[in-house]
Structure 1
Amino acid sequence: MALISLVFPIFNEEAVLPVLIARLEALLPTLELNGDQIEVLFINDGSRDGSLGQLRELVQTRSWVRVLSFSRNFGHQVAVTAGMHHARGAAVVLLDADLQDPPELLPEMIRLWRDEGWEVVYGKRRSREGETAFKLLTAAIFYKTLQRLTSVAIPENTGDFRLMDRKVVDALNTMGEQHRFLRGMAAWVGFKQHALEYDRPARAAGETKYPFRKMFKLAMDAITGFSYAPLKLSRDLGIFIALAAIAYGVVQAARYAIAPNSFEPGWTSIIVVLSLLSGVQLVTLGLIGEYIGRIYDEVKGRPLYLLSEKLGFRDEDPSQSQSTNSRPS
């Protein structure tokens, strides 16, 4: 018998929670028939709708539900991290509450983990229903770029949907960086990993919690967290422009030496060169600023998240229901 922990980050998911619970309750007998026990951790990431009220009711009526509630919105990646910190299972499964990560795949993921010895079983999207052409295109560009920039092999067309053995979760729990890209971190720790392909359905209800702004931030966290390539690119671009400027100066000097009377100095070339150099300097400073900003966040040493409530943790000291979670040591 194994305890399997299911981790669901929740942010304004009032519309989808009843559907999710119905799907889980239909699945639980199948899992329990195989000798497994299930705990479900919901992490309320500062929801502003009725999600927390529904979660409180679930804790009262279902013994397998546990709830962590943040003091404010800390973000999806931090919410998943909190779930891993508090999960007790021999295996931990990360899923999105919108049911785009089908819980019906759990029996196969558990089988691959238990019977075939895979320590990470991650979902690989064969198709992505209900997503715009723009999102599909930007996702493809992002993964191709990430593959080229990083030395860590991060699988394409994957999200955070994965089952992880306890040893993998323990390894991830030692990693306390503020700007988190969990699918990259899970690839970095290694272990035996297997891709389970599936067709990703459309969101069951509600609206996406990852608009373009958040997707862009996640992409920046991924690139700056796993690659120094942007800094090297700035260096190489600076060297190239410096050499080009020297070559341009040599050509202009030669022209003047050969035919000084025909040489007509103009403002256009000056403005173009100055604008180009200024632009390169600003871009370079911006890239350096991204890394310095992340260093600043790490040096401050603030906790990843703060908890306002812990519900359903019946085997723990009640005095710990109001807690602050700092980084793991």
Structure 2
Amino acid sequence: MLISIVIPCFNEEEMIPIFFQEMEKIRVKHHYNFEYIFVNDGSTDASLEKMRDLANHYDFVRFLSFSRNFGKEAALYAGLKHTTGDLITVMDVDLQDPPELLPDMVTIIQSPEIDCVGTRRSTRKGEPVIRSFFSKKFYSIINRISDTEMVDGARDFRLMTRQMVDAILELSEYNRFSKGIFSWVGFNTHYLAYENVERVAGETSWSFWKLLGYSIDGIVNFSDTPLNLAAFTGLFSCLLSAIALIFIIIRALIFGDPTSGWPSLVVIILFVGGLQLLSLGIIGKYIGKIFLETKKRPIFIIRETEKDKNKPK
């Protein structure tokens, strides 16, 4: 049974050899048949050279190198698309996805009732407090406003059957949010919990703002609640304005038409204008997603693979 391992990489020259050594311990100990697929997502360091070196020494190591940085979502999709294994797993090269969980995952997925074995962090020890807070809030919000359930703390690290991966590959949308896609396609998933593991070496390329933008994309991709919120906000603003207008007319009939009150008028104008801009921003976000989809641009462009022998070594 062949197990394909998809490993997205962006500036991970330090971690690639360490990750490979740790995974080889698992392969040798349990006599697994591995197929490594490293995806170089436009790295500017020596990540590609590390991949070339491994591919030259081991027939079961493959790599895809993008023409530029397309993002982790594109790297995941490209890696899954080029797998040939019976079972497929996605892992981060930083070893925050513990390789020692893989044997248990392989055992569990042997059950005919299980199509996927996912992993989730039971704790966020070592993670910045602000990031942990917003991560929990994201899962709380997305599960309230979306029909697609996402497990709090779930990682991309999961072992899937070929049937499930084929279903994922049928979703060739440009705007991708893999955590949502993994859940949307369905299939029976069993989750393994583990304590948070910090990076072994190198630095993460995910800043707080990148994660925040990624979260917003996830909400937009799997829920139309923000659009409904914009509509209800507009309706509420109209009703409030109508009530205020009736109040002003009644007050003028009873007490006359005072000239005071322009500060409150300015505040009301700014408030309504802000609501309009907020609603336009929400609508614009969805229109932008539609615009990118209609262009039909490729999700990724491959510059080099392990089969390109003429590339510089």
TM-score (norm 2): 0.96
Task: Identify the residue that residue 300 of structure 1 maps to in structure 2.
Answer: 295
Q: Which residue of 2 aligns with 1:242?
A: 238
Tell me whether 1:221 sits opposite 2:217 in the alignment: yes
Q: Distance in 1 between matches of 2:285 and 2:115?
A: 34
User: Tell me, what secondary structure is at the counterpart of 1:200?
Assistant: coil
Map 1:308-327; keep pairs closer than 5 Å: 308-311=303-306
1:12-23 alignment runs, 5 A limit: 12-23=11-22
1: CA distance, partners of 2:113 / 2:102:
15
Distance 1:40 1:184 in 2: 25
Aligned AA (1:17):
I
Quote the offset at 1:156 in angstroms: 1.0
Shift in Å, 1:31: 3.0
Alpha carbons 1:125, 1:199 under 8 Å: kept: yes
Moved more, 164-173 or 127-136: 127-136
CA deviation after TM superposition for structure 1 residue 264, in Å: 4.6
* RMSD over aligned Cα atoms: 1.6
Give the superposition deviation at 1:115: 3.4
1:253 equivalenced with 2:249 (yes/no)? yes
1:161 aligns with 2:160: no
CA contact (8 A) 1:46 1:73 kept: yes
Q: Deviations 1:246-304 (Å, cap 9, x if unpaired)?
A: 1011111111112216x453111210111011101111111111111111100000110
Do the aligned residues in 1 keep the contact of 2:109 with 2:116 (CA within 8 Å)? yes
Residue 266 of structure 2 corresponds to which residue in structure 1? 271
Task: Provide the residue aligned with 1:325 in structure 2.
Answer: none
Whether 1:185 and 2:181 are equivalent positions in the alignment is yes
Q: 1:73 aligns with which of 69, 72, 77?
A: 69
CA distance in 2, matches of 1:177, 1:213: 24
Q: Deviations over 1:298-328 (max 9, x none)?
A: 00001100001111x5xxxx79x99xxxxxx
Match of 1:43 among 18, 39, 43: 39
Matched, 1:8 2:7: yes
Pairs within 5 Å for 1:54-65: 54-65=50-61
Tell whether 2:152 aligns with 1:151. no
Find the counterpart in structure 2 of residue 283 from structure 1: 278
Query: Structure 1 segments of 4 or more deviating over 6 A?
Result: none
CA distance in 2, matches of 1:131, 1:206: 16
How many residues are paired up? 311
8 Å CA contact retained: 1:122, 1:193: yes
Distance 1:182 1:56 in 2: 27
Separation of aligned partners in 2, 1:224 and 1:31: 42
Question: Which position in structure 2 is the counterpart of 1:326?
Answer: none
Distance (Å, rounded) in 2 between the aligned partners of 1:155 and 1:297: 28
Partner residue of 1:102?
A: 98
Query: What percentage of residue pairs aligned between the two structures are identical?
Result: 37
